[in-house]
Structure 1
Amino acid sequence: MAAQREGTAETADHLGGDRLYAFTPIHAFSESEAYISVGIPSGTAYADLNRLYHREVWLILVVVVLAGIIAWLGSDRWLLQPLAALGRASEALRAGNLSARTGLAPDTREIAQLAATFDAMADSLQTRYDTILAQDAELVRSHRALKTLSGGNRALIRARDERELLDEMCRVAVEVGGYAIAWVAYAENDADRSVVPVALRGVDPAFLQELKISWAETDAGQGPTGTAIRSGQPYVGRNLQSDPKYRLWHDRNRQQGIHSSISLPLQSAGAPLGAFTIYSGDPDAFDTEEQAILQEMAEDMAYGIKTLRLRQQHEAAQKQIHKLALYDTLTGLPNHIQFQDLLEANIRVRDNDQGTFALLIIGLDRFRDINTTLGFEAGDRVLSDTGLRIQNALAEGEVLARLRGDEFAVLLPDATADTAAAKAVNLRETLAELYNLDGFTLAVNASIGIVLFPEHAMTTERLIQQADVALQQAKHSSLGQAVYSAEYDEQKSYHLALAGKLHRALEKGELTLYYQPKISMASGRIIGFEALARWIHPKDGMIRPDVFIGVAESTGMIRAVSSWVLDTVLQQLAQWRESGLHLPVAINLSPRNLQDAGLLESLERFCTHWQLEHGMLEVEVTENAIAENVEQARASLLRLRALGIPVFIDDFGTGYSSLSTLKTLPFSAVKIDKSFVIDMLEDRDAAAIVRSTIKLAHDMELAVIAEGVESEAIWIELKEFGCDIGQGFYMGKPMPENEVVRWLATSRWGMPQ
């Protein structure tokens, strides 16, 4: 109380208990400090307050507890649960589940906005991922198609025949491209328009045999393959296991697990060949890019089929021509062309080893009487039997050929005059046995001429000539056989004398040119001439070209003769050009000419001097001229082409050249030898050779000239065969220059008025 004037205080009483006092000073006794204090026990003073305090405390606790409960419930719903959902979605997204979302409804709360942002981000990721997957799938399919195309290209290059190509294309599609099934079918033009499988990979063949596909407008033709063939357009089939259009094949498609397919038409010149069909287990296969790649593969396949078929036709034609050209169809023996090649080969071998051989030519006496009396069929049977008898009488290594008519040739390696004569005796005895022709017996005698290499001749031509001389001597001999003797043959001295005369003929201008017209089969009008050298000797008269040209070849005068021909023809062309006549002229060059660089240089000078127009001078060369040295011939022919001079193959069919080699040379036309043309109406083999040659030449994009057209019947036959140009006595004989203009004006083959 000393510290304050009035107040309260709690202190212990004299009994030791706690009391609450209230005190205040008494003012009446102001001169001194007097106070009044009243005290009550603290417990009594605080009883109501304690009761109130405890009640409030409990109330606060209840409120706090309730608030805590409410806060917990609110945070779990409005904060913890959204956070948990966001956490779960984030974890799922991190694990690669791009479909994970929070699942929270949008509202204005921050946590809801955060969840919405997260879901939008996940949607964007899902979209991008789906796009990437789609692009990857497209790339995979395109890569698969490209691998298939690449493998198909390799198959196209390596395939040797059509079946191999188709099988390999199917294998590539399945094993390289990874497709489920691949097959090729050809379209038949039968009543049902059937589709016939020809190649398959990826499934048992029974799969196709039971499909019964057509390319007609029927239920069986509504599938991808039939539709593609019919429409000529690629066809993609989807939902192959459920689409009603493919109901006929649902079960098969389910068994094989295929969902989509593409059928690619195979066409040649717009006509349907068939289709290439590929199946896939991928429902989304064959998108636009994949279709384009596979369509390219199908087009390559169609080209391959066409090329292989054309190659097969060419090979068949070449084999046929080779057979007809080199073998006698009646007896099956080598013919004169092949036998000459055989002689050439033996000459080369014997030149190296100094060896010998004998050539026998066998002729049947009075064979023409057999044909005349008994008919050609009987004559053919005698020839066939003769060939068989001779063949059976020969030893290993001895070769028989039929040369012509009733003449056969035998090559005896390492033979001497004595061994050859002994063989001739044996052969004559064999042939002297009676021939039995359907009960009719016939005696046939044979004569045999013998020539030895190198004693009597050292070239094929001379050997055959000398053997022919010996054969003629044998026919007049009581022995029926003869060995060549120089006294029989005056040709050698004759040729020597002729060479001297030819030299003087060039100096004196005794040679002249005749011109034989060449006629277009299409128009029936002249399109040019062939210049033919003629020698009119003042005393001996007309000397055959094959005689004096051979002399010129053997003596080296061929260059001078050819130079004269060139200059004369070019001068004639210039004169005709001035008079308004523009017709090309063909000349012949020999093997020696093609190897003569000097002659070709002279030709270039002549062309420049006479201002030759391109195409007005033509050159004909024989097959053998090319075969002697192909590379040198190619160089010469290219020089001629550079001068604008077309080159023709002359006497085609009489030489032995590779068609594949000829195809690589710059020829413009082939000229069929007259020996085939003249005989084509009576000889089926000759007609077959002519027809096959024309077709093969046209396939090689070469024109065809037939010489030896001696009658209207031959002209008509050649025209039916598709020959382009004819040359022969039927249209016009070779004529001197001063008769050409009159012939052009009066002949129905001449220039139109």
Structure 2
Amino acid sequence: MTHREHKIQSQPVMSIALANRANANLLKRMLGHDFHVQDALADESEEAALGVDLIVADTASLQHYHKKILHLRNRADPITLPVLLVTDSRTQVPPRITAELGHSVDDILRIPTTQAELSARINNLLRLRALSQEQESNRQQLVGVVSALRTLNACDSVVVRAKSEDELLSAICRTIVDEENYDLAWVGFAIDQADKPIQIHTSAGPAAAFLSELKLGWGKDLKGSGTVGQALRTGKTRVVNNIAHEPSLAHIKERARCHGLASAITLPLIFESGLPGCLAIYSRNPGHFGHEECQLLERLADNLVFGLKALRTLRESEHQSAKIHYLAYTDALTGLPNRRHLIHSLDGMLDTANHSDTSGAVLFIDLDRFKLINDALGHEVGDQVLVQVGQRLQSAVRNDDQVIRQGGDEFLVLMNHEPRQGGTSTREQLITNAYALANRIIAHLTEPLTTGNFTHHLGASIGISLYPDHGQNATLLIENADKAMFEAKRQGGDRYLLFSEDLSASRQQRFAMESRLREALDNEEFELYYQPIFELDSCRIVAAEALIRWPQSDGEILMPGSFMPVVEETGMIKPLGDWVLESAARQLKVWHDQGYQLDMAVNVSLNQLHSGCIAESFAALVRPHIDPRWIHLEVTENALMNDPEAIEMILEELHAKGFQLAIDDFGTGYSSLSRLQHLSIQTLKIDRSFISELGKPDSKGAALVSIIQQMAASLNLNTIAEGIETDEQRRFLQTTTEANGWGQGFWLSRAVPAHELELRLKEQHRNLN
């Protein structure tokens, strides 16, 4: 009988070794069927004797098997393997045999004897064995509990010290194996996939190879039928005291045997949210996991879950903090650092102890002509353009420089200046490097750019400030670079400019002008003056051009050239332009009511044409006072060159509302003659620069004016000659104009207030009548 087979027997196993067969048979009959009897001492296989609960021997057998009996008793220690010595009552027991009591023999029975005495002696010896077994079991459980407590304390320390989930899980598995001398510990987590696999995260122990290519699952298939899958599905601890006898582990028992694994415990790791995991521990000893030890290991698993939750919460908090930091310091559209990042970075650089050795430049970049793209094609296309601009800027700067998006169509570049090897850092070198960088940026940005099925041509105005020369903090440096950029844009754009104190004073004056303009607009301090437009032959006033003026408190009257650029830049052009158009229409109605059937010319800026709903909003301003057909809207030739297709559509819509349309300053731009024939215009205003050349020796002005007039006539367009200052000029124009042309200029009248023009109209009316 094998040791395994003995373990499933329900009767005590007794080995009888009596030289006298009659005595042996008598003993068997007296015992009946209460014992399983075998001759284990005579069997050469030691395994056959491992399952014996009691040995019965006589003097002869004791002497013959003395060494084997001592070996088996020592092998069973600390569990008692009792030996009962049977002697004949008629013979004297030798002293040397009596001396074996407590050594190789536990009791002596003299025969013949009664069945009651025999049973009592045997039961006492079996009770002695049972007590020793219980004592050993208690000792082992105590050792397991103490070891588990030690492991629990060591693992608690790991939970407290771990800085990451990977570190915690690896240290837990190593600690369990090192402290408890287990053969394997591993941690795995359920994966939310169709086949419901379990992914082993980390493992430790001499039997770690057991996990190689092992497929575990938490579904109800073969992979999930084992104790690990059951623990994850039910959330309850699963203990296997003998893997070889566990039916649900039949598919891996041979694998476990090869790696010396006999028992196991699977502890589920349950989280409030997310999929569960498990902690699995294996031992080479069957029945290793006692009740108290399992309770302590469950506490360890609970503490591990607590530690994992804490680390995951910390990780999520750090992730959120990093995300908040990213959002706070990064531009959402382009992914570039934002202004806040630049301020933080540059201020930190300037605050260092060696800031006197720190030098560099801030480049403030504003895109030229971007607003046209944004207004005509929409913000989605505009955003795509800005992303490409950010990429081009990054390709233009050096690795040590930073590209920042300020906002809108404004970007910043922080240029860190480092002198060449062995050289000295001078202001001249710094300026030279900043200029070179600005040139590269302008070159990159002026290359054609394609988005939204359109090819766009941008430019850039760049202002440069130097640190620490132009400021000891980032905000001031950005502000000064902005001032330089503003002046570069005012000078026409597509250029760079270095900040100076003169620019600062000019910028302050400009801000003061802006503040005063807003106040004047709110208080309606502006006035309209009107310059007469007359027939060249009769000199009769047939129209007037409305021109804005800004009266000052000291009596000075400011002309448009001194304040309109600021109006355009600050976005006040729409409300001010609306006021001009409505005021001109209102005044024209007054004159019509007085019997003066004049037309009215009103200048329209490019920014007004890109403000949305132009045609309908213009008509809504005019209709309450006068029919739009009496209003001539004048657009400069240069305005037609900016996004000509969009402008052509706007002009067509305006004409559809009844407005007359004129091209102002014609001849100074580069408008396409082929496009000119498709524009919804009725009048060309010949620029004063051509008129001023009339009558001068060797001047080509007369020929050019004549060409313009002939072209206009062939296109069925009217002409108005601007800037007529002499009667000689008027007469020349009269002779070259095929139809009855119009003119305006100081020869007849400068722009005057409405009441003064009314006097001229009255006088003209009297003369005609």
- Please give the TM-score of this superposition, normalised by the length of structure 2: 0.46
